[in-house]
């Protein structure tokens, strides 16, 4: 079988001693034919098509070093990009990373960041193929993830049709609950509260459910990065339909419920509008028998927008420019 290849420009890695330190700590998956050390990396693309997603994380905007370790930030940065690839129905194969780092950043923090990248990639059999580094006043991370469809058609946002069901795989509300606890300076001294904070620091996307949904015949899918209501609004708009959610269908995790009790908040608010859990939300034809990992939470009907409790409540969620 002929293995197709993809060449990716990743910067002149040899110019940076710090990059040599980073790349020396990273394992490589079988998808990476040529890793860091040259002007570009080369990864296999057996399907002949490459799924690509990229994200930018800024210190103080997407993470805080006093709240998250370098390892946490590495896991989170890799996860949110790998989840985007899985949400297209693809299997992640590799990432490339651009780093802006302050001159006084400790090597221990950098090593932990690198380990976070590598360990999160390892959960899906991917690896870091390369990247670039520059000096910056704040920590800035630009991560691009690549994936392989394995012969499947990509699952888009535009395929939802009236009569289809809406289902979710993965956790919802954990990252928002953890952020709220940290923001409030709450005392996090019980396992449920600690798990909520961990959900903010390191999301746990259900990567395998993306290709599974594609195999099952999902008509639309995306990862929940900006809040379920807001993200399903993208599906509704792209597909020209209305999404109706049943609030009674959502399972509120114990850490989310515990955080809500601690702060006097509504846990369902975090479940519906909290971002950065990177769960997968997908739409399926009604005849599809869904595995237990998928929880049906609504349906698709004619119309537009997203309804909860039978009423339009807008696309509340994360706004990158607010």
45 has pLDDT over 90:
no
Three-state secondary structure readout of 113-124:
HHHHHHHHHHCC
| pLDDT tens by residue, 192-246 | 999 999 999 999 999 999 999 999 999 999 999 999 999 999 999 999 999 999 9
43 has pLDDT over 90:
no
The rounded mean pLDDT for the chain is 89
Is 318 annotated to bind a ligand? Reply is yes
* Sign of the alpha-carbon dihedral angle for 238, 251, 85, 286: negative
The region that residue 141 occupies, defined by phi over 0 for left and psi between -120 and 50 for alpha, beta otherwise, is beta
Is 111 annotated to bind a ligand? Reply is no
pLDDT, residue 13, reads 34
Q: Does domain 5-148 have CATH number 3.30.1330.10?
A: yes
Is 84 annotated to bind a ligand? Reply is yes
pTM of the model: 0.88
| The token pair that represents 86 in the structure block | 């899985």
Distances 123 to 12, 109, 126, 270 between C-alpha atoms, Å? 28, 22, 8, 27
Task: Report the share of the chain in percent with pLDDT over 70.
Answer: 87
Mean pLDDT (whole number) for 95-107 = 93
318 has pLDDT over 50:
no
Is 148 annotated to bind a ligand? Reply is no
Is 72 annotated to bind a ligand? Reply is no
SS3 content of the chain, % helix, strand, coil (to 5): 35, 25, 40
pLDDT, residue 132, reads 87
Is 132 annotated to bind a ligand? Reply is yes
Q: What is the CATH number of domain 165-312?
A: 3.90.650.10
Confidence of residue 314 (pLDDT cuts 50, 70, 90): very low
Is 225 annotated to bind a ligand? Reply is yes
Three-state secondary structure readout of 34-98:
ECECECEEEEECCCCCCEEEEEEEEECCCECCCCCCHHHHHHHHHHHHHHHHHCCCCEEEEEEEE
Is 200 annotated to bind a ligand? Reply is no
Is 276 annotated to bind a ligand? Reply is yes
Domains of the chain, residue spans: 5-148, 165-312
Q: Is 151:11 a contact under the CB 8 Å cutoff?
A: no
Helix locations, the chain, DSSP H: 17-23, 70-86, 107-122, 174-184, 191-201, 209-216, 228-239, 254-263, 267-273
Is 47 annotated to bind a ligand? Reply is no
């Amino acid at each position: 079988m002929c293995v197709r290849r993809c060449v990716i420009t990743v910067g002149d890695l040899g110019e940076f001693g710090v990059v040599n330190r980073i790349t020396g700590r990273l394992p490589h998956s079988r998808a990476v034919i040529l890793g860091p050390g040259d002007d570009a990396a080369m990864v296999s693309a057996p399907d002949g098509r490459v799924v690509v997603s990229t994200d930018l994380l800024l210190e103080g905007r997407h993470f805080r070093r006093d709240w998250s370790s370098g390892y946490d930030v590495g896991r989170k940065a890799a996860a949110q990009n790998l989840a985007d690839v899985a949400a297209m129905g693809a299997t992640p194969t590799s990432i490339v990373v651009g780093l802006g780092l302050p001159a006084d950043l400790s090597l221990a923090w950098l090593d932990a960041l690198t380990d976070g990248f590598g360990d999160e990639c390892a959960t899906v059999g991917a690896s870091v193929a390369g990247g670039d580094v520059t000096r910056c006043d704040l920590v800035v991370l630009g991560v691009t993830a690549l994936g392989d469809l394995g012969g499947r058609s990509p699952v888009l946002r535009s395929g939802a049709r009236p009569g289809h069901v809406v289902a979710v795989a993965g956790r919802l509300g954990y990252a928002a609950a953890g952020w709220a606890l940290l923001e409030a300076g709450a005392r996090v001294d019980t396992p449920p509260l600690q798990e909520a904070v961990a959900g903010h620091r390191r999301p746990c996307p259900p990567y395998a459910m993306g290709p599974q949904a594609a195999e099952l015949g999902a008509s639309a899918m995306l990862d929940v990065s900006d809040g379920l209501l807001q993200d399903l609004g993208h599906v509704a708009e792209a597909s020209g339909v209305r999404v109706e959610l049943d609030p009674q269908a959502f399972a509120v995790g114990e850490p989310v419920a515990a955080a809500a009790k601690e702060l006097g908040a509504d846990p369902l608010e975090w479940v519906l509008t909290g971002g950065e859990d990177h769960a997968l939300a997908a739409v399926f034809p009604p005849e599809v028998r869904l595995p237990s990992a998928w929880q049906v939470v609504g349906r698709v009907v004619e119309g537009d927008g997203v309804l909860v409790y039978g009423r339009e409540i807008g696309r509340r969620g994360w706004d990158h420019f607010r």
